[in-house]
Amino acid sequence: MFSSLVIGQQTLTVSLTQEVPVAENGLSISNFSLNGYNDSTTYKVSLSSTGNANGTFSVPTTTGLTRDFGYNSWTNITSVNFIGTPTNIENALNSIKLNTTLTEGAQIILSVVIINQTTNSYFNPSNGHVYKFVSGQTTFANARSAALASTYEGVSGYLVTITSANEQAFINSKISANNIWTGLSDEGSEGVYKWLDGPEAGTAIKTTSGNVAGQYNNWCSGEPNDYSSGEDYMVTRWNGGNCWNDFGPPAFPNHSSIGGYLIEYGDWSDPTNSTFSSTVNTQITFTQVKTDPIIAFENVTKVYDENDFNLSATSSSTGAFTYTISNTSIAQVNGSTVTIGNVGATMVIVNQAADTKYNAGLATMMLTIIKANPVIIFNDITKNYEDPDFNLSATSSSTGAFTYTVSNTEIGTLSDTSVSINGAGTSIVTVNQAADSNYNSGTTAMTLRVNKSNQIITFSDTIKTYGSGNFDLTATSSSTGAFSFSITNNAIASVSGSTVTILAVGSTLVTVNQAADSNYNSGSATMTLTIIKANPSITFSNLDKNINVPDFNLSASSESTGGFTFSITDNTIASVSGSTVSILAVGATFVTVNQAADSNYNSGTATMTLRVRMNPTVIFSNITKTYGDPDFVVTATSNSSGAMIYAVSDSSIASITVSLISINEAGTSIVSVNQAAAGNFNSGTATMTLLVNKADPIIAFIDITKTYGDLDFSLSATSSSTGEFTFSIADSSIATVIGNSVTIAGVGSTVVKVNQSGDNNYNAASKTIILTVKKRDPVINFENIIKEVNDPDFNLSATSNSNGKLIYNIINVETATLSGTLAHLNNPGETVITVYQEATQTDNAATSSIILNVIERLDSDNDGVSDLYDLDDDNDGILDTVESKDDLDEDELTNALDHDSDGDGCFDVLEAGYVDDDQDGRVGNSPVEVNNVGLVQNVFAYDEPLDLDENGNYDFLDFESEINFKEFILPNEISFELNQTVVLEIETENSLKLNYQWQESTDQESGFADISDDGNSLTLNPKYFDDGNFYRVIISRPSYVCDTPFISNSTKILYDNVFIPSGISPNGDGVNDFWEIIGLGNFPNSNVIIFNRLGVKVFESNDYKNEWNGFYRGSSLPDGTYFYQISLSENEIKKGFIYVKRN
């Protein structure tokens, strides 16, 4: 609490109550502020420290300050009085350093008094009184009178009353003069000393019987002694000492030994009750408290699999630290030693006990365990080529899955972890290990070495027949090394590369050598090659001869060198002598040749047929046709019966199938006929010329009628010819043509001609038609007009595709009048305005009319924009054009003015998907702000309205009728067996589009959880532990935002059998603590009894609620086997055992 203590215009502002830490030296207590003091004046300040804390203070900044008499130090003191200017005083106050003690809750009260400085005046902080010393030799009476007449800051003075040793010490410390008059006297009552004035006036402190109990006396030894004729007044500081003496008249009327008198101001005992008019007097209470320690506890990041480590926190307190870890799955702490458990982050809390200076405290830090890099062991492997597949295996500190890759697939290929060897050599095999919960992913590699294998060469013996030709030797091997061959007896055969040339009949060894390859060493093998005699292949071809040819020689050939002999079967056809044949007649006969054996070939024979024939006579005449003629048959005649085969030399002119010719195009082609030999006739041939002439095309091109103003159009003619069309128009004032595109230029008729060029099959040709262009009827655009009666004059404006003159006429001049095209509105009403357009050279005359509707100004939604120009007449955020002018709910308000267009009780603004916070049917909050066309501003509106049921109708125009949800009922109970499917279905109208949210309760309907939103049925596959669950459905209509969802009744499912657990573990962990019999609820009259091994009944219930937890008469039964008997009905009893084990 801050206080500004105001004395006149002088203020001292400082916080009056402050908490300070215990046992601290040099605590700053700044924030002193002096205001209203005259900086050219010096003031007296009194600082004093009291309270039960026994604290001290220091004033480090003393520039410009002067301590009062009796104050010897600025450091570690309990009080000091000094004078100085306001600036120096404020600096001194703000430099005060407080020294606190160890006592928590103890208080230091620092009193600050600022008074006007008066010479020889002193402020006593103990009582808040001011003391003024007046020096000089004066009588007691004069001193008393002067004191009583004196005032200080509005407070009357009196001769000092010394009521305590503290006050006496204060006086002794401030005044060095001797023999000072005080206000104590026994005048009028000898021996009874009373204070004469001030707050203690009349108070006796000493009587003839001695000192008054409870009153302060400080007499010098032997005093008061009422010396001689008597001494009636007391002086302090007698003869420079610190004690009192009775003095003065009548014994000592002379006052020459008096040093002066001391005036005291103030009648209060509490300094805070001071009434000095310009004195600032305030007390600041410092309560010593323990402070919260400053604990440094830095976040720590460790790597999983690091060794245990020690937590370390530092603090300003000496209290003991204790550590806890919030997530013990991440790490655990014992004392300050942390053992890492898993990767993750957890909060670590350090609690520090209180000590003498500090409260207990705590701090937190985040311990983050990051993943470690795994150590993967993956050793090199050596294999031989052709070794079977083998599995790779790596080990690691991580549980992450291994994946392997082989760098050189020519050495091996990999399928999962199985390696198939492909070749000899070396390859790097890399294993990558996926990250797991505690380890990063990792990788390492090893070397797979595959050594070469010895090959097995297959080289089989071979038998060949002489003359069978060169052949290739073939050896097979698992190696790919190159083969080289050699033959022992080169007289039998020779080899070049792998090709063997047979030279003679006989046998010889053949050796194959195979070079090493990448996977196999080199190797060799031998086989026997046997060459046997061949049967000669005698070539003796059939001969066809004409009857009139001269003698000729027969010729046969063979690989053998044996001699030939010839013979003829029918010597009437021909005769042979040696190898010379003479033809005798037309016909056919066999001729036989025999060849003798030689060293490499057996003997052999062959036959051929000698046929003697004559040539046929073939007749085949030329043909002329026209393109387009139908297919025709060609026929040649001959004296031979041999089959005729026809062919066309140029298939582009014609094509032939057997003897049927199809014409393809105009031109000339040679047609040939070949007649096969038959009987005694040779084959024959003949040709003729086929000429195909061009045809005249048929062009289709019809007359055309168009209207002036029609768009350009294309001319189109069709023809049997492919010749190019060109078009021309006789009268270009009617129309022009570019290519085949016609542009209409005027009204009338003209000739249009098409010319078609000749092509390969058709001659050139042309045809003409008549193009007629009629006048058009102009299209006048002249739309109905709605105006308000006070609207300004306006120009009528009709548009037309004709340039004919427009003439306007108004029918009802009461409503409006017309001057040229300028219309003036007269009165509300309706009139027809007609526009007439004169004919032109290309356009007919035309007329059109509209309705001018002059209305009174109407603003249905009072938004300042008239309905005529308002695009949203009811401010519901939906455009009038979307709402339409219909009256859907027939309430005599059009949809554009109706806040509930479909009459379903839900505002259009809500069904459209907008916000209506004040529920008045208008979008946003009323009053709304609109623009110049009546659209509400600063809200979300005028977007596509909602159609939540997607039926093609906006929801605000889609009436939602009431649904009788009472008809939607689920069964109250359903029994089920294991592996049985249970279907819950709620019957609703198929025409309704509804949302269904099925829910499940496992706690006797205390709470439900969403489980499915898939239609009006729910399929369950319950287990026995689902016995007693409840199911229900919440139904809502998506298109009706004002709808209240319907919550159906609940269906309870009951296990149709009884499941009896064979054991419980009632240890209070919430798992399996009770013997829960599933399905017992289906048997309301059941009885459950449990016996121990001795047959003693330890539990019985006729309404078992799964409550038995291994107790008997309030005490837990020992672990072991117990026996049950469950009577489900009179005729059905189940018996068995149950095992109880708590740990």
Query: Does residue 346 surpass a pLDDT of 70?
Result: yes
Distance of CA 1019 to the CA centre of its chain: 32
Joined together, the tokens standing for residue 736 give 């022009």
Q: What is the pLDDT of residue 8?
A: 40
232 versus 229: the higher-pLDDT residue is 232
Query: Per the domain annotation, does 906 fall within a domain?
Result: no
Query: Per the domain annotation, does 425 fall within a domain?
Result: yes
Q: What is the pLDDT of residue 961?
A: 59
Q: Distance from first CA to last CA of the chain, Å, rounded?
A: 62
Region 209-225 average pLDDT: 93
Question: CATH number for the domain including 257?
Answer: 3.10.100.10
For residues 526 and 571, membership in a common domain is answered with no
399 versus 1078: the higher-pLDDT residue is 399
Tell me the torsion sign for CA atoms 879, 885, 891, 892. Answer: positive
For residues 525 and 579, membership in a common domain is answered with no
Query: Does residue 339 surpass a pLDDT of 80?
Result: yes
Q: What is the pLDDT of residues 915-962, one digit of tens each?
A: 988 889 899 998 989 898 889 899 999 898 888 877 888 888 877 655
Joined together, the tokens standing for residue 415 give 């399928």
What gap in Å lies between CA 29 and CA 94, rounded to an integer?
7
Total domains, the chain: 11
Joined together, the tokens standing for residue 5 give 């203590």
Rounded percentage of the chain residues whose pLDDT exceeds 90: 54
Nearest to 390 by CA among 408, 414, 358, 366: 414
Query: Per the domain annotation, does 508 fall within a domain?
Result: yes
What gap in Å lies between CA 860 and CA 1002, rounded to an integer?
57
Query: Does residue 109 surpass a pLDDT of 50?
Result: yes
Q: What is the pLDDT of residues 474-487, one digit of tens each?
A: 999 988 899 999 99
Q: What is the pLDDT of residues 626-641, one digit of tens each?
A: 999 999 999 999 988 9
Do residues 665 and 692 make contact, with C-beta atoms less than 8 angstroms apart? yes
Within 10 A of 688 (CB to CB), how many other CB atoms are there? 15
What Å distances lie between residue 204 and 63, 163, 222, 233, 508, CA to CA?
Answer: 46, 11, 19, 13, 166
Question: CATH number for the domain including 558?
Answer: 2.60.40.10
What's the length of the chain? 1143
Q: What is the pLDDT of residue 731?
A: 95
Region 671-686 average pLDDT: 90
Q: What is the pLDDT of residue 964?
A: 63
69, β-bridge pairs: none
User: What's the one-letter identity of residue 519?
Assistant: N
Query: Does residue 783 surpass a pLDDT of 70?
Result: yes
Label the pairing between strands 1051-1055 and 973-976.
parallel
Is residue 1026 very low, low, confident or very high in pLDDT (cuts 50, 70, 90)? Answer: confident
Alpha-helix runs per DSSP H in 814-863: none
Do residues 311 and 365 make contact, with C-beta atoms less than 8 angstroms apart? no
For residues 310 and 355, membership in a common domain is answered with yes
Query: Per the domain annotation, does 938 fall within a domain?
Result: no
User: What's the one-letter identity of residue 899?
Assistant: H
Nearest to 384 by CA among 455, 445, 446, 475: 455
Query: Per the domain annotation, does 946 fall within a domain?
Result: no
Region 863-881 average pLDDT: 84
For residues 390 and 421, membership in a common domain is answered with yes
Query: Does residue 420 surpass a pLDDT of 90?
Result: yes
What gap in Å lies between CA 552 and CA 446, rounded to an integer?
87
Q: What is the pLDDT of residues 36-53, one digit of tens each?
A: 888 888 888 889 898 888
For residues 1032 and 1008, membership in a common domain is answered with yes
Q: What is the pLDDT of residues 550-570, one digit of tens each?
A: 999 999 999 899 999 999 999
Nearest to 876 by CA among 858, 903, 900: 900
Last residue of a domain, one of 613, 631, 655: 613
Q: What is the pLDDT of residue 216?
A: 95
Q: What is the pLDDT of residues 906-916, one digit of tens each?
A: 898 888 889 98
Is residue 11 very low, low, confident or very high in pLDDT (cuts 50, 70, 90)? Answer: low
What gap in Å lies between CA 959 and CA 969, rounded to an integer?
25
Last residue of a domain, one of 338, 370, 402: 370
Q: What is the pLDDT of residues 256-301, one digit of tens each?
A: 889 999 999 999 888 778 887 767 778 888 888 888 888 899 999 9
- For residue 1059, give the DSSP letter: B
Alpha-carbon torsion, ordered 1032, 1034, 1035, 1036, to 10 deg: 180
Highest mean pLDDT, choosing among 343-352, 437-446, 944-953, 1002-1011? 437-446
For residues 366 and 261, membership in a common domain is answered with no
Tell me the torsion sign for CA atoms 93, 95, 100, 105. Answer: positive
Joined together, the tokens standing for residue 198 give 């001030």
Highest mean pLDDT, choosing among 42-51, 64-73, 598-607, 712-721? 712-721
Q: pTM, whole model, 2 decimals?
A: 0.37
Last residue of a domain, one of 417, 434, 451: 451
Do residues 923 and 874 make contact, with C-beta atoms less than 8 angstroms apart? no
pLDDT averaged over every residue in the chain: 89
Q: What is the pLDDT of residue 4?
A: 39
- For residue 400, give the DSSP letter: P
Query: Does residue 1041 surpass a pLDDT of 80?
Result: no
Q: What is the pLDDT of residues 810-860, one digit of tens each?
A: 999 999 999 999 999 999 999 999 999 999 999 999 999 999 999 888 877
Joined together, the tokens standing for residue 749 give 């008729």
Question: CA angle, 1010 as apex, 1007 and 1013 as ends, to 5°?
Answer: 150
Q: What is the pLDDT of residue 870?
A: 81
Question: What is the H or E stretch that residue 149 is in?
Answer: helix 140-149
Q: What is the pLDDT of residue 324?
A: 92
Query: Which residue matches tokens 């009192």?
Result: 244
Alpha-helix runs per DSSP H in 744-892: 880-883
Query: Per the domain annotation, does 928 fall within a domain?
Result: no
Region 734-741 average pLDDT: 95
What gap in Å lies between CA 1078 and CA 61, rounded to an integer?
87
Do residues 38 and 86 make contact, with C-beta atoms less than 8 angstroms apart? yes
Region 1067-1096 average pLDDT: 86
Instruction: Please give the sequence-ordered ranges of beta strands (E in DSSP) within 887-1029, or none if there are none.
Output: 973-976, 982-985, 995-1001, 1009-1012, 1017-1020
Joined together, the tokens standing for residue 810 give 């108004």
Mind giving me the DSSP string for 627-638?
TTPPPEE---EE
Backbone angles phi, psi at 1057, to 5 degrees: -130, -170
Query: Per the domain annotation, does 880 fall within a domain?
Result: no
Do residues 367 and 390 make contact, with C-beta atoms less than 8 angstroms apart? no
Tell me the torsion sign for CA atoms 133, 137, 141, 142. Answer: negative
Is residue 1059 very low, low, confident or very high in pLDDT (cuts 50, 70, 90)? Answer: confident
Joined together, the tokens standing for residue 287 give 């309560």
Q: What is the pLDDT of residue 947?
A: 83
Q: What is the pLDDT of residue 270?
A: 80
What Å distances lie between residue 1050 and 973, 1029, 1061, CA to CA?
Answer: 8, 10, 28
Joined together, the tokens standing for residue 510 give 């053949």
Region 582-593 average pLDDT: 91
For residues 156 and 263, membership in a common domain is answered with yes
For residues 365 and 314, membership in a common domain is answered with yes
Joined together, the tokens standing for residue 478 give 């698992």
Q: What is the pLDDT of residue 2?
A: 36
Joined together, the tokens standing for residue 603 give 């003997």
Label the pairing between strands 618-619 and 604-613.
unpaired
610, β-bridge pairs: 543, 589
Is residue 1004 very low, low, confident or very high in pLDDT (cuts 50, 70, 90)? Answer: confident
What gap in Å lies between CA 523 and CA 516, rounded to an integer?
7
* Full residue range of the structural domain in which residue 146 is found: 129-267
Is residue 57 very low, low, confident or very high in pLDDT (cuts 50, 70, 90)? Answer: very high
Question: Which region among 17-26, 93-102, 697-706, 824-833 has the lowest average model confidence (pLDDT)?
Answer: 17-26
Question: CA angle, 904 as apex, 899 and 909 as ends, to 5°?
Answer: 35
What gap in Å lies between CA 117 and CA 132, rounded to an integer?
11
Backbone angles phi, psi at 131, to 5 degrees: -120, 135
Query: Does residue 665 surpass a pLDDT of 70?
Result: yes
For residues 142 and 254, membership in a common domain is answered with yes
Query: Which residue matches tokens 């001011």?
Result: 130
For residues 3 and 46, membership in a common domain is answered with yes
Query: Does residue 213 surpass a pLDDT of 90?
Result: yes
Question: What is the H or E stretch that residue 765 is in?
Answer: strand 765-774
Is residue 15 very low, low, confident or very high in pLDDT (cuts 50, 70, 90)? Answer: low
Query: Which residue matches tokens 């209240």?
Result: 1044
What gap in Å lies between CA 910 and CA 923, rounded to an integer?
8
Query: Per the domain annotation, does 394 fall within a domain?
Result: yes
For residues 785 and 657, membership in a common domain is answered with no
Q: What is the pLDDT of residue 9?
A: 46
49, β-bridge pairs: 110
Query: Does residue 1127 surpass a pLDDT of 50?
Result: yes
Query: Which residue matches tokens 């230029």?
Result: 745
For residues 304 and 284, membership in a common domain is answered with no
